[in-house]
A = this chain, B = another copy of it.
Amino acid sequence: MNASEPSKRVVILGAGFGGLACCKKLRKKDLSITVVDRQNHHLFQPLLYQVATAGLSAPDIAQPVRAILARQHNTTVLMQEVTGIDLTARKVLTGEREIPYDYLVIALGVRSGYFGHPHWARFAPGLKSLSDATRLRADLLYCFERAESASDPVEIARLMTIVIIGGGPTGVEIAGACAELARKVLKQSFRHIDTARARIILLEAAPRILGTFSEDLSRYAERKLARKGVAVRTNTPVADISEHRVHLEGEIIEADTIVWSAGVEAPPLTRSLGVKLDRTGRIVVDKDLSVPGHPEVFAIGDIASAVDTGGETVPGLAPAAIQMGRHVASIIAQEAFVPGGDLKPYQGLFRKEFSYLDKGTMATIGRSAAVASTMGLRFRGFIAWILWLFIHLILLVGLRNKLVVLLQWFYAYLRYNPGARIITGVTGGANDPKSSGLSR
C-alpha cells in the first residue's frame, strides 16, 4: 500500500472466541487494531458451569485479554463498555470516548434471554459471566448451609430444591453437576440434613432434552441424569417465574435456586443499529458475514444470525465463532490494502462466502458420562467423556490454566472432592451471606 497512508483502523467489539480469532489472524498486518471488551478477560464459557458448581475456580477458565494479545503490537486493548455504534460516521461510542473505525467487527456475544419476560431474570439468573458463576456457586452452597440450620420442613424442602430451566447442553451440564454436588460431594459434611435428598429438577419445554443431538443420545442423557438423581421433565413449558417459585400449568414448584438456561438474546445495543435483526435481536448478516448495506461492518459469533453457503444456519458454538472470525479477518486482510485514499472495500472485489465446517457438538452429563456427535459419528458414556475432557483441555487458553484444570479434574475424580466449594460472600443474590472480617 501507499506508505504515506496511515494504516487502516480495525475495531473489534468483544474478546470472545470470534473476536480473538479475528484479531490474532491479523497480527502480522500493518493495521491499527483496537479490541474493546467490558471484561478484562477472555472467558472459556464451555466450562463456566464447573465454576458455578464448585469444580473450578473462576480464574482457571479465564485469561486476561491483555496477556493474550501482549505480544501483538498492532493491537490495543480497551476495557470499556460499548454504549453505541454510529454506522454512518463510522464510530464506536463508549462511556469514555469515540473510537473511529475503517472496519468494524461486532462480536459481543449474547446474554440470557427470557422470551419477553425480562423480570424473570431476577428470579432465575442465567450463566454467562464469571460473576454469574461465582454467584450461582455461592447461592447453591448457601442453600444447604441454611437448610442445615433451618427447622421448618417446608423451608428445608424449598432450600433443597434446585430447578434448572432449559434442557440444552448447558442445562444438562448444570443439572448433572448439581446432582453430583448434592449426592456425593456434600453428603458427608452435614449433620441435620441429608443432601442426597435434594431435588434437582430439569425442565424442558420440548419433547426431549438435547434437541440438537440425535434421539438416542437424548434418551441416553435422560437415563443417565435420572440415575444421578435429576428429575427430567420434558414437554414442560414454564408459564411464569416469581421469587423462589416456578409456575407450570396447574403446578407451582417451590425452589430456592432457579437457574435459567432456556434461551439467549443479543445485547440491546443491536436494536439501535437500524439493521435487520432476528427475533432474538441478533444481526442478520450477508453470506460474507457483513452487515447488509455496510460492507465495512461485520457481525460474528453468537450475535450474528448467519446462514452458510450450504444454506445451514450457523450454530452458536465456539468453533463457529472462531471460523467466522477467521473468515472476516481474511476479507479485511485482502481489502484493507487496496490502494486508493477513500475506503471502498467492496468496490469491485469478490468476497468469499462463509462456509461452516461442523466439527460436531458434545455435552457432559457428569462424572464418566457424556454425549458427542461429530462427523456423522456418535459417542456416549466414558469414551465421550474422555473425548470431552480432552477437547476442552486443548481449547482452554493458557498453559497454566490447562495444568491447573487438569490437576483439579484429576484430583476431583480420585477424591470426589472438587476444590472450589467456597462462598466468597460476593453474591448479588437474595441469599447474600455478606462478608466482612468478622470471624476470619
Residues of A at under 8 Å CB distance from B? 13-16, 36-41, 43, 45, 57-60, 62, 64, 66-67, 69-71, 76-82, 96-97, 108-112, 126, 128-132, 134-135, 141-142, 145-146, 148-150, 186, 188-192, 264, 267, 398-401, 403-404, 407-408, 411, 415, 417, 419-426, 428, 433-440
Contacts and interface: CB of A to CB of B under 8 A. Distances in A.
A438 B16 contact: no
Contact of A57 (B58, B129, B435, B437): B58
A326 to B, nearest CB: 20
26 contacts: A38-B433, A39-B439, A40-B141, A40-B421, A40-B433, A45-B440, A57-B57, A64-B189, A67-B417, A69-B189, A70-B188, A70-B189, A71-B188, A76-B192, A78-B149, A79-B146, A126-B437, A131-B435, A134-B424, A267-B437, A404-B404, A404-B407, A404-B419, A424-B426, A426-B426, A426-B428
A77 B193 CA distance: 12
Given A40-B141, A71-B188, A439 B109 contact: yes
Most buried by B among A38, A400, A401, A440: A440
B130 A424 contact: yes
Given A67-B417, A400-B419, A438-B267, A426 B134 contact: yes
Contact of A39 (B77, B82, B398, B425): B425
A76 B435 contact: no
Contacts of A130: 422, 424-425, 435
B59 A420 contact: yes
Contacts of A43: 440
Contacts of A148: 77-79
B131 A424 contact: yes
Nearest to A61: B422
Nearest to A132: B437
Contact of A440 (B16, B77, B417): B16
Most buried by B among A188, A422, A424, A433: A424
Nearest to A265: B437
Nearest to A15: B439
A145 B425 CA distance: 25
Contacts of A435: 38-39, 129-131
Given A70-B188, A79-B145, A131 B439 contact: no
A131 B420 CA distance: 15
A142 B267 CA distance: 23
Contact of A80 (B59, B134, B135, B149): B149
Nearest to A64: B421
Contacts of A112: 437
Contacts of A69: 189
Given A419-B401, A423-B39, A424-B130, A437 B111 contact: yes
A39 B438 CA distance: 9
B424 A108 contact: no
B40 A422 contact: yes
Give the top 3 A-B pairs by smallest Cβ distance, nearest first. A111-B437, A128-B437, A66-B189
Contacts of A40: 141-142, 145, 421-423, 433
Contact of A439 (B71, B82, B400): B82
Nearest to A303: B439
Given A37-B439, A108-B438, A149-B80, A407 B417 contact: no
Most buried by B among A39, A43, A128, A415: A39
Nearest to A58: B424
Nearest to A66: B189
A408 B132 CA distance: 25
A397 to B, nearest CB: 12
Nearest to A423: B40
